[in-house]
Structure 1
Amino acid sequence: MSAPPDRTALSACIITLNEADRIAACLDSLAFCDEIVVVDSGSTDGTREMAAAKGARVLERAFDGYRAQKDFAVNAAHHDWVLCLDADERVTAALRASIEHARDAGFAGAAGYRFARLTGYFGAWLRHGNAYPDRVMRLFDRRLGGWRGAREIHEHASVDGPVATLAGDLEHDAYRSLADQLARLERYARLMAGHMHAQGRRAHIANIVFNPFWRFLRGYVLRAGFRDGWRGLVYAYVEANYVRQKFIKLWLLDRGQRI
């Protein structure tokens, strides 16, 4: 698909691995983009075929890190303005309207755009605590930035220039189950501990004891996560446990132990 000559073209970039149950909704929400690039790292559940059937340009690449995979997708796009999503995310109607309005104006005055991310959790949306608004910068001019840095986990894009905020939410269907969340956060904790250790960071007793407590206090109390009911409590507790795991693993690495 090509953009009209008087409108800035926009590419959507997604990385995937076995996302057959979520990729269709993600791609449908990106129908307003001029191109959709999907970079897959070996799906066995039909993800690639589903994406191709939806009109996406599907590329295959061995996974060597979240940041590197997303950077590859951005560089593979045909257009300089890119919108980066994960397969478990969807652009809402309100966010789409904001993006289209900015695009119609030629994305003037900004090198990138951030917007709120709304996380679904056990059948409801989390609207408080550390979960929301969780603003992310995912729409940007790749000539002015991208997925930078050496960290492959909890990666984020940055640009050289002003970043504006758009109205509307990016829906995030983050976890298929509690088991999925716990397994994913354990993997993230291991990767983050390894990265921190490689960067020379060292863990202290205070990190293991107080950092998880602060994460829970900040999210559940100070940012009113309790207003999300039992879901807010579970989310805040699991998130605090992730922080605990991360620093325990770093503590072990500091002492030459395997994690």
Structure 2
Amino acid sequence: MISAVVVSHNEGHLLDACLKSILFCDEIIVVDLESTDNTKEIAEKYEAKYIYHQKVPVVEIIHTWIQDKTKYDWILITDPDEVCSNDLSKELLEILPSVPLDIGLIDVPWKFYFGNHLLKGTQWGGVQRRVFLVNKNRFIFTKEVHRGRHLKKGYKPYIVKNKGNNFVHHFWMQNLRQLTAKHKRYLNREAESRYNSGERSTIKQILKTPLNEFYSSFWIKNGFKDGFTGFFLSLFWAWYETKAKLKLYIYSNKIKQNNLMF
């Protein structure tokens, strides 16, 4: 038995395909973050449990709140811009009944699109991985952006191998405006999240980051295979990582100064 959770804010135009792809789940919950579009109508179309919730800066906040409200222990975490392939849904239904009791999550292949372009390279391209199903009794949700999901001690992941068509389609970004707005929102919480996970940065690291990250994304991770899109996204990634490390450096120094005061 699976409960699916989808958090949406004005993404009704994407939500239809998402919900249609997860109808194999036994419960579907749509958490609507103050949408003004047709999100509610789409949720009702697929007989999903609809919850209206005040808008929050990052989705991890909702995941920590919703985990005790699902009907079933296995929770499928997805976004409105994601579509589970038929091959993957069939494989998950085959896997779950016989999954060992020490398995706390199921990790699946994941492919990103920019607009309608399937990314071959860059930081986001090729076959990525993502935690798709978690057992709420064997897993910890936190509010940390990008780092908010952890297995409890004694449990391990089940890795679904890439077979070509068994993956989650991630219709990640439609345009530059969406890309910039979403990552600026992430940056507001990135420093605290990285600091809490033990990461630190120095001026020397910050200065090296733009060139190193662009080179990694465009050449090592094959961003050149995506042409101008790959070049642009590699530049964007270099900017984001530099900004994140700078914010981490400032945040760390602020914590250090506060500790010295006391």
Normalised by the size of structure 1, how large is the TM-score? 0.84
Aligned to 1:246: 244
Q: 1:155–1:37: structure 2 CA closer, same or farther, 3 Å change rule?
A: farther
Checking the alignment, whether the CA contact within 8 Å between 2:10 and 2:36 is kept in structure 1 is: yes
Shift of 1:172: 0.8
Aligned match of 2:223 in 201, 225, 231? 225
> In the aligned structure 2, how far is the partner of 1:26 from the partner of 1:16?
11
Aligned to 1:44: 36
Extract unaligned runs of 5+ from structure 1.
1-8
Q: 1:18–1:118: structure 2 CA closer, same or farther, 3 Å change rule?
A: same
Figure out how many residues of one structure are paired with residues of the other and give that number: 245
Q: 1:102–1:68: structure 2 CA closer, same or farther, 3 Å change rule?
A: same
Q: Read off the aligned partner of 1:165 and give its amino acid letter.
A: I
Shift of 1:159: 2.0
Aligned match of 1:76 in 69, 76, 101? 69
Aligned to 1:165: 159
Aligned match of 1:61 in 49, 53, 57? 53
Instruction: Confirm or deny that 1:15 pairs with 2:40.
Output: no
Checking the alignment, whether the CA contact within 8 Å between 2:115 and 2:171 is kept in structure 1 is: no
Aligned to 2:141: 147
Q: Read off the aligned partner of 2:7 and give its amino acid letter.
A: I
SS of residue in 2 equivalent to 1:143: coil
With 182-191 and 195-204 compared, the bigger mean Cα shift is at: 195-204
SS of residue in 1 equivalent to 2:11: coil
Shift of 1:129: 3.5
Checking the alignment, whether the CA contact within 8 Å between 1:122 and 1:231 is kept in structure 2 is: no
Extract unaligned runs of 5+ from structure 2.
255-262
Q: Read off the aligned partner of 1:210 and give its amino acid letter.
A: K
Aligned match of 1:134 in 104, 128, 148? 128
Checking the alignment, whether the CA contact within 8 Å between 1:225 and 1:233 is kept in structure 2 is: yes
> In the aligned structure 2, how far is the partner of 1:136 from the partner of 1:44?
29
Checking the alignment, whether the CA contact within 8 Å between 1:39 and 1:58 is kept in structure 2 is: yes
Shift of 1:253: 5.3
